Structure 1
Amino acid sequence: MARTHARSQIGTRVGGIKPFYAEAKVTVIGAISLKKVRAVITMDDSIDGSAFSLFIDQFLCLQLPPVAVVVMDNLSSPKLTSIVLMIEAVGARVICLSPYSPDFNPIEMW
């Protein structure tokens, strides 16, 4: 844990570096259906378009039935045209969620 306060001489600034991540970063990508987990992978570091494309091609498309509907969030990686084409090639449909708005989320009203 990084300190939130520090002391310095009068008239001088405190300098320091506060790390954004304390530990190694691990990303989990998964796909679930109503009855089971379809595909899950973990990877070190952040996800990008090529990593997400690999997940879709090598893991998810192999598990999708032809009548499946894939719902994706607003991350920039799923919006690649090649990813939508891979999913539609196995007979599934793609639906992207609308952008986030507090109007759609009743818990924000509390």
Structure 2
Amino acid sequence: MHASEKETERVQKLRVEFWLRIQAILPENLIFIDEAGVNLSLIRKNARALKGKRAYSKRPHKRSKNVSLIGAIGMRGLIAQYSILGATDGLTFEAFISQKLVPKLWKGACVVMDNCSIHLGKDIEKLIEDAGAILIYLPPYSPEFSPIENCWSKIKETLRSIGARTYLDLAQAIEIAFNKVSLNEIRNWFTHCCYCTLLA
């Protein structure tokens, strides 16, 4: 299932324009940024049990406050990461760009992100361009164009298996989860989203 807005003429036109622009950029210069939220209530979706028995898992009774994750991936691997208790706002995102991402950028890099409101700060594009890179926004309703969506699925799967129940344990689990993301997986995610085919 997907949002019906994706089928509108306006969005379809924006999706075509995105690919026409992105095909001029080498996949190894693409960097995808996004956010995700996790909490202390994550549990395994599947488990093993003795034949004829049901597997059980304990989940905290009260829903915990979310921890926001911000990440950036490219064909070179995991480029930058950050986590903060609570929601990500514009100031937090701008700090991530200036302190975590910009020092890792190179001339010719292309940063790709969706156009949610916190990504539209007036200084964000300038910070990226001053580092010799460019910024391109994904078309609306197009998460399947972003390989980092697959990255969040892998990270959440790892966090579910760890099952942290304190924020200290969750912080450590987040570090473990990011470290488990391999370069080969990232390249496969890029291929899945059709970016590596641009080399053909």
TM-score (norm 1): 0.70
Q: Percent identity over the alignment?
A: 39
Q: Distance in 2 between matches of 1:75 and 1:39?
A: 19
Aligned length: 83
1:80 paired residue number? 121
Higher relative CO (CA 8 A, sep ≥ 6), structure 1 or 2? 2
Bigger Rg, structure 1 or 2 = 1
What RMSD in Å do the two structures reach over aligned CA positions? 1.9
Superposed displacement of residue 74, structure 1: 2.3
2:64 is matched with: 23
Superposed displacement of residue 35, structure 1: 2.0
Instruction: Determine whether 1:55 maps to 2:55.
Output: no
The Cα of 1:100 is off from its aligned counterpart by 1.1
Q: Which has the higher helix share?
A: 2
Task: Note the alpha carbon deviations across 1:25-74, whole angstroms, 9 max, x for none.
Answer: 10000001112111000000001000000000001000011110000112
Question: How far, CA to CA, are the matches of 2:89 and 2:109 in structure 1?
Answer: 24
Unaligned runs of 5+ in 2: 1-40, 42-61, 146-200
1:1-110 correspondence runs (5 A): 22-100=63-141
Find runs of 4+ consecutive structure 1 residues off by over 2 angstroms. none
Q: Structure 1: which 5+ runs fail to align?
A: 2-20, 105-110
